[in-house]
Amino acid sequence: MQTKTLADLKRDINPGCSIELIEYLDATTQDQIPEKLKGIRYVTKKDTTGFYLNPTPEDGKRGSFCNFPKAGNLSYIGDTFSISEHYPHDSMSPLAGKLYQKRTYRLLGF
């Protein structure tokens, strides 16, 4: 499969498609996917900075906002994309600058 870019992700995510969180890693707690994040979310609106996700597309509400990641924090192959985040470098934490979270999503119906 071909690696895709942030521009491809922005083109592929549109109102009406859905997204499922399939992997969630948190270096601080080593938790699995939190119960409140499980399930399929529907894209209800999209703009240049991100998109809105709602668990029930019929209720007319926008839902939660999800920013598009920086290109360097995105891995997008096929219908699966991963977003990585890092602790701030100016943090007093010993984890400063290190990867602390990774979420992997599957894009459905695009």
Task: Report whether pLDDT(71) > 80.
Answer: yes
Range of the domain at 99: 3-108
Total domains in the chain come to 1
Burial pattern 11-42, b for ≥16 Cβ within 10 A else e, equals eebeeeebbebeebbeeeeeeebeeeeeeebb
For the chain, give the percent of residues with pLDDT over 90: 49
Overall pTM surpassing 0.85 (yes/no): no
pLDDT digits (tens, 9 = 90+) for 30-65: 567 777 778 899 999 999 999 999 988 777 788 899
